[in-house]
Every structure is written in C-alpha cells, then in structure tokens.
Chains A and B, each alone.
Chain A
Amino acid sequence: MLFYLFAAVAVIASLLVIAQRNPVYSVLLLIASFGALSGLYVLLQAPFVAVIQIIVYAGAIMVLFLFVVMLLNAPHEETQHDERVHPLRRAGPMRFGAILAGALLVELIWALSRSGGDTGAFDGGGVTSVRALGQSLFTDYAFAFEATSILILVAMVGAVVLARAERRGADD
C-alpha cells in the first residue's frame, strides 16, 4: 500500500506545482514530488535510480531552478489578466489547453484499460545490482554514454555563452 501513498503524494504535489502563483513554492513542491517518485523507484527494485533521482534531480537540477528563480527576483506571474483570477481558472486558449491535457489523460488510460483485467503483476526479481547496471552501461551502451558526455559539454558551453552574451553587448 506504499504505492498508493507515494502515488498520492506525487500527483498532489505535481498538481500544486502548476497551481502555485509563486515559482519558489512550485520548485519546492516539485522536489517533494521527486521524493515520492524516488520512493516508487525503491518499490520497483531500482535503488540506483532512486538515489540518482534524489542526488541529481532534487539536489542539482532543482537547486539550479531555485537559484534562477531567486536570481531573477520576479516571484509573481505577471499577466494582463486579473490578479485575483487563479492561474488554473482563466478563460480562452489556456482552458482549451487544459481540456486537451485532460483528453490526453483519458486517451492514455483508455489505451491502458484495453489490456484487459490483467494488472501485469511483477514476477521474478528486478535488476537491483549497481554492478550489473554499470557493466551494461560501459559495454552495450558505451557509445550512448560517450555521446552523452559530449552533450553535457555542449550544454555547458551553450549555457555560459547564452548567459554572457547580453552583458558583453551592453559594454560595447
């Protein structure tokens, strides 16, 4: 029954992320959602994924988001709409987008329900050993691993260039 607990925490925290006006709260709630997902990974017998979910996602990526939110110091959403209207209750194209997302959910669940009454209960053990994961990562997936390292390098250089360009243009 831990599944339902973690699932409820993940869904409620994610809903609150898109319902908050203040991005700082959104980021903190998303960290809570990632913590619940990490618990689900433990239930799925994937402890390595659970740990890097906490370390990389909650620890590094979300801190980067929080850093930018605080750096920009623009906590509240500015729109032409009435400030008192909740972000989830606006009219027009945004409501249409929300309806589209609901239609996507209905469609996905309908497609899943076509598999019949079988819940696909897990049989046998999962791959829990980090040793097996590493062996596969550095042999079968060695090319993808190297390509990822180049991607990270490109992203790093790109982020530095993008964040600096404006300042240099102002000085000239």
Chain B
Amino acid sequence: MVGLTHYLVLSAILFAIGTAGVFVRKNLITILLSIEIMLNAVNLSFVAFGRALGTADGQIIVFFVMTVAAAEAAVGLAIVIGLFRHRESLNPDTFTALKW
C-alpha cells in the first residue's frame, strides 16, 4: 500500500537531484532548472501532507509556491539575459566581478 512515506521518499530523492544539479552543472539555465526541480519536490511533499491530514491547506500552499516560482523564473531569466549580454557566456565561473 502506497502511503505518505513513499511520497516523502520520492520528494527527498527529487530534492537531492535538484541539489546535485545546482552543485554539478556549470550553466546558469540548468542551475535555474535544478531550482525548479527542488521547488517541485517540496510541492509534492506539501500535497502529500495535505492528503494525509485531509485539509486543503497543502494544496493552497502549492498555489503560492508556484506563484513564487513563476516570479523567480521571470526575474532569474532576465538576469541571465543581462549577464549573457555582458559577457557572452552562461558559465557562472566567468562572473567574478564581485570576487575579492
């Protein structure tokens, strides 16, 4: 019988994949995609908890997380476009102007 623990383990696996993507990849767009994977892992655990508790709150929080993710994607991609115009590169290692 598939229960809450199954969904939470799946959520943990997806979150770890997203974390690994942020650390491993050297491409700003893939890093943003990894952040989206992490947000979705958290959404899954919210919905699973909401189902287990029998309330609507889990689904409503997912609604807000999606809104924040949309705002984050819009601003993040605008920053990526600005950085690409500046340096002609998407590798985060080339943006070292603030590095001491």
* Residues of A participating in the B interface, judged by any CB pair closer than 8 Å: 3, 7, 10-11, 14-15, 17-18, 20, 23, 26-27, 30, 33-34, 37, 40-41, 43-46, 48-49, 52-53, 56-57, 60-61, 64-65, 68-69, 71-72, 74, 77-79, 87-88, 90, 94, 96-98, 100-102, 104-105, 108-109, 112, 115, 118-122, 124-127, 132-133, 136-137, 141, 144, 148, 151-152, 154-156, 158-160, 162-163, 165-167
Contact = CB atoms under 8 A, between A and B. Distances in A.
Nearest to A60: B70
A87 B3 contact: no
A108 B91 contact: no
Contact of B29 (A46, A69, A141): A69
Q: Does more than half of chain A's interface fall in helix, strand or loop, or is it mixed?
A: helix
Interface string B30-43: 10111011001001
B41 to A, nearest CB: 9
B17 A37 contact: no
Given A18-B24, A64-B74, A136-B57, A126 B51 contact: yes
A148 B64 contact: yes
A159 B80 CA distance: 11
B70 A152 contact: yes
A14 B67 contact: no
A77 B25 contact: yes
Given A7-B10, A79-B26, A119-B5, A104 B15 contact: yes
Q: Is the interface of B mostly helix, strand, loop or mixed?
A: helix
Given A77-B25, A109-B12, A65 B5 contact: no
Interface of B: 1-10, 12-27, 29-30, 32-34, 36-37, 40, 43-44, 47-48, 50-52, 54-60, 62-64, 66-75, 77-82, 84-86, 89-91, 93
A105 B12 contact: yes
